[in-house]
Amino acid sequence: MFKQLKEELDSFMERDPAARSRLEVYFLYSGFKAVRAYRRAHWFYEHNMKFIARYLSQRARHKTGIEIHPGATIGKGLFIDHGMGVVIGETTVIGDNCTLYQGVTLGGTGKDHGKRHPTLGNNVMVGSGAKVLGPFRVGDNARVAAGAVVLDEVPDNATAVGVPARVVRLNGVRPCNLDQIHVADPVSQELCQMALKLRELQKQLDEIIKQRGENCDENL
């Protein structure tokens, strides 16, 4: 228990530049309090005391603004920064050392039973206001950019950007997990490629017109 507590305190100290001490994190950080409340609620949920589990989770929601269903499965080192408005659904699975920012939703898309919420791999970062909706997997070391709406699977070491989110591969290199905004936009990249192609075609067309004009002058 103390080892798990230390790991969670360390995850906040490592990833939050504003954290000055473990004491401050323990007593004042809403994300830390929400995760600790989830651990207690999850124990009751696993022992079929679901009313108590839901009571604890709802009590934590009112205190922190973070709603974590006690049925979710969460690995070690979860870091929820600020956290207001974060929602984690019942069948969500979160791997180790993941990072969630404020306004994140890990939700479902309907009233289906069974697995209906996403699975996050290890070292996943989900940016502010992002929505990950559905029973698919977001791979290890992946990033979801701020404001993205993810409706399909995200591979390992990739970034999801936009609404609906498009996937940008990062050549198998683990990205900086705390950067929510400096990510490649596939739409902008495609538009730039199209603009370059149009300039090339315009240049070729100008050369053809010029050649034809010179030929006409010679014939005259």
Q: Are residues 169 and 95 in the same domain?
A: yes
DSSP type of residue 101: -
pLDDT level of residue 72 (50, 70, 90 thresholds): very high
Q: Are residues 163 and 192 in the same domain?
A: no
pLDDT confidence of residue 187: 64
Q: Are residues 9 and 71 in the same domain?
A: yes
Q: What percent of the chain has pLDDT over 90?
A: 60
Q: Are residues 148 and 77 in the same domain?
A: yes
Q: How many CA atoms lie within 13 A of 135 on its CB side?
A: 9
pLDDT level of residue 176 (50, 70, 90 thresholds): low
Segments of 89-170 assigned E as strands: 93-94, 99-100, 105-107, 119-120, 125-126, 131-133, 137-138, 143-144, 149-150, 158-161, 166-169
Q: Are residues 99 and 132 in the same domain?
A: yes
Q: Are residues 211 and 120 in the same domain?
A: no
Q: Which residues contact 127 (CB under 8 A, 6 or more apart)?
A: 101, 104, 143, 144, 145, 146, 147, 148, 180, 181
Q: Are residues 146 and 203 in the same domain?
A: no
List, for residues 81-110, the tens digit of each pLDDT value: 988 999 999 999 999 999 999 999 999 987
Highest mean pLDDT out of 14-23, 143-152, 203-212: 143-152
Q: Are residues 174 and 197 in the same domain?
A: no
CATH value at residue 34: 2.160.10.10
d(CA 81, CA 57): 18
Q: Are residues 15 and 84 in the same domain?
A: yes
Q: Are residues 199 and 155 in the same domain?
A: no
Which is it for strands 158-161 and 166-169: parallel, antiparallel or unpaired? Answer: antiparallel
What domain range includes position 189? Answer: 185-220
Residue type, 188: S
168: number of Cβ within 10 Å? 18
217: number of Cβ within 10 Å? 8
Contact (CB, 8 A) for 99 and 73: no
Domain count, the chain: 2
Reply yes or no on whether the pLDDT at 205 is more than 90: no
Q: Are residues 174 and 200 in the same domain?
A: no
Predicted TM-score of the model (pTM): 0.76
| Cα 209–chain centre separation | 51
Q: Are residues 170 and 202 in the same domain?
A: no
